[in-house]
Amino acid sequence: MTTTAVPRPALTDLGPIAQLRAGRLTRRLVQLFVGLFLYGASLALMVRGALGLAPWDVMHSGLIRFIPLTLGEMVVVVSFVVLVLWIPLREKPGIGTVANAFVVGFSADATLAVLARPDALWERALLTIAGVVLCGLATALYIGSQFGRGPRDGLMTGLVRRTGWSLRLVRTGLEVTVVVLGLALGGGLGIGTVFFALAIGPLAQLMLPWFTVALDPRPALAAGGDQG
């Protein structure tokens, strides 16, 4: 008896109209917003763990020391600043890009409002680990919904496309840059930052096939010129 392997759904690169025409809209929208909400919650878990933040959040936490915004509000502001940088890179935002810019920051603030920082080191370590794992899950959910990249991911892929440099080099360069800026501003760097940098890629790669939604190829094909 032979078995036929079922191919895994592929990620696509569609513009906003094609994204809406690509089928399974209710499932994908729910998955997108659940993923983005959990992404913000994962940020809050790492903040309350107080053992170090993700690279971009090191910078966010440094900026709010000097600008009177909450952490979540700063995430939103930086998201739109990064989207401005998409313009010379000719990146096209999708529905998920704009939703990402708003939802992650507000989710982070909402979670921080109800989650206190524990005193025990082991509890803070658990929060940090849970934050990283939840971030991997959230990343797989929102990317797998096929509504486009987040602002920071789009900056990375745009630089790769325009410069011809490797994805690893561009990602490392961006993350080192924001960590250095965050450190200069007094942001929250620690062992959690290192753990995040080492674990988030493998976690997202593991989970992404579980949540990548297969699209209807016919509407996407009909949308032709709307591809990003």
- Does residue 228 lie within any of the structural domains? no
* Structural domain total, the chain: 1
pLDDT higher than 80, residue 226: no
- Does residue 118 lie within any of the structural domains? yes
- Does residue 182 lie within any of the structural domains? yes
- Does residue 70 lie within any of the structural domains? yes
- Does residue 129 lie within any of the structural domains? yes
Distance between CA atoms of residues 58 and 156, nearest Å = 18
**What is the reported pLDDT for 51?**
96
C-alpha to C-alpha distances, 119 to 52, 125, 196, 221, nearest whole angstrom: 15, 11, 22, 55
**What is the reported pLDDT for 224?**
41
| C-beta separation of 127 from 49 below 8 A | yes
- Look at residues 140, 143, 99, 110 and name the one whose alpha carbon lies nearest to residue 43: 110
- Does residue 156 lie within any of the structural domains? yes
**What is the reported pLDDT for 220?**
45
| Block residue for tokens 């909450």 | 70
Q: What confidence category does residue 225 fall into, taking pLDDT thresholds of 50, 70 and 90?
A: very low
pLDDT higher than 70, residue 100: yes
pLDDT higher than 50, residue 132: yes
Instruction: Find the domain containing 27 and state its range.
Output: 18-213
- Does residue 152 lie within any of the structural domains? yes
